[in-house]
Structure 1
């Protein structure tokens, strides 16, 4: 046996020379895999500069030094790459997605908090956008709430002061303009924390709606975050 069963750490062999090389390699992999953080799982071309201990999830079709290592974890090691095959139940923080993922034995599944043997489970997600407010009494975002999402609430932060003749504003959806907040401030840093008393399911992709109170919008920018739960299907 040359490697451990779970983390694929290299093992010392009887009468092995240069033992420190194997020990250091094992420590490097251990340092990367415990509290696993993946810079990305979609980058197909390895970075030009390799940093020791930095890990990536290798996607299908990866090239150059990652070719032939689809689905593995690539760890920077002494100017090259060490590769480890993740197992079902491993978890990792995906830096460029800002969320945790579980491995189902074949793929990383973002936001999963439960996962059945056939891939069904519950997924927590955040859909976040920067919305530039349009001139007028109502400013509607692009579609932000996904279909069949159980929405827990929407939070918001004014990143550029809201301008216009309005005094305050409301945050909601078409037909429910104040569902996630009313009497909201217009200054930079103002916020909304629209937690729903009962989660609400949206069965079609839905936009958010900002409504001016006491006047109209002329500008501003708001960061909007939809917090939701999704149920995933079992595999065939």
Structure 2
């Protein structure tokens, strides 16, 4: 055996010269793989990379990455080495700022438990900075994604909201499902938790409703929706 089975770390061989080269490469791989941080996912090598940069290689890879689909590409000592990820490996996508898990084929954002063929229980949080529109309501279009089971919505006012004394956060037919009496000054916050996680079967607008006057078109509120998704098994 010339490499370890899990992380592909090179092993020193009997009577090997220049042992430090192998040991140093093993340390460098361990440094990249023990706490995985993916710079991104791509099918071609970036034009410039720094030592330690780690990428997920997408399907149909070409150039220096040809034939390495689904593997991890690690830039070391001016060149690329490739490691095969194992089901259940977890890491962080630096380009999108989300935790990911490997299901045997893809790096799934928020992935938790997976079946042998990739059916997964995925938990995610999606955030948006919403500029409040003038009027009695202000709509965040399609903020709740289709087929999501929502635990709740949280938020914080990041710029003073004008015109209203307070506001509610909800959806059509339930204007205060995720909060009411929310302050309009910078720093005001909401934590709207549903008593039972609620399923939404199509993209759903989140609606801010003013109370004590209409919104005047100023202000920004940062909202995050927290939800679970069930992904399909592969064919």
TM superposition score normalised by structure 2: 0.93
Match of 1:175 among 160, 163, 173: 173
Q: Is the 8 A contact 1:50 1:80 kept in 2?
A: no
Specify the alignment match of 2:87 in structure 1. Answer: 88
d(CA) in 2 for partners of 1:64 and 1:162? 51
Alignment match, 2:197: 199
Q: Indicate conservation of the 8 Å contact 2:169/2:209, yes or no.
A: yes
Alpha-carbon distance in 1 for matches of 2:211, 2:128: 23
Q: Does 1:13 align with 2:13?
A: yes
Equivalent runs, 1:160-171 vs 2, <5 Å: 160-164=159-163, 166-171=164-169
The residue number in structure 1 matching 2:114 is: 115
1:4 corresponds to: 4
Q: Structure 2: any 5+ residue segments left out of the alignment?
A: none
Match of 1:31 in 2: 31
1:97 corresponds in structure 2 to 96
Deviation (angstroms), 1:156: 0.9
Aligned pair count reads 234
Q: Any idea what the Cα deviations from partners look like across 1:112-147, whole Å, max 9, x if unmatched?
A: 111111222211011222211111010111211111
1:189 maps to what in 2? 187
Distance (Å, rounded) in 1 between the aligned partners of 2:45 and 2:221: 35
Gapped regions of structure 1 (runs ≥ 5): none
Q: Deviations over 1:173-218 (max 9, x none)?
A: 1111111111111112221111112111112210100000011112
Partner of 1:209: 207
SS of match in other structure, 1:25: helix
Structure 1 Cα separation of the partners of residues 169 and 234 of structure 2: 38
After TM superposition, the score normalised by the length of structure 1 is 0.92
3-state DSSP of counterpart to 1:162: coil
Moved over 4 A (4+): none
Aligned to 1:179, the other structure's residue is in SS state: strand
Matches within 5 A, 1:32-111: 32-41=32-41, 43-111=42-110
CA RMSD across the alignment: 1.6
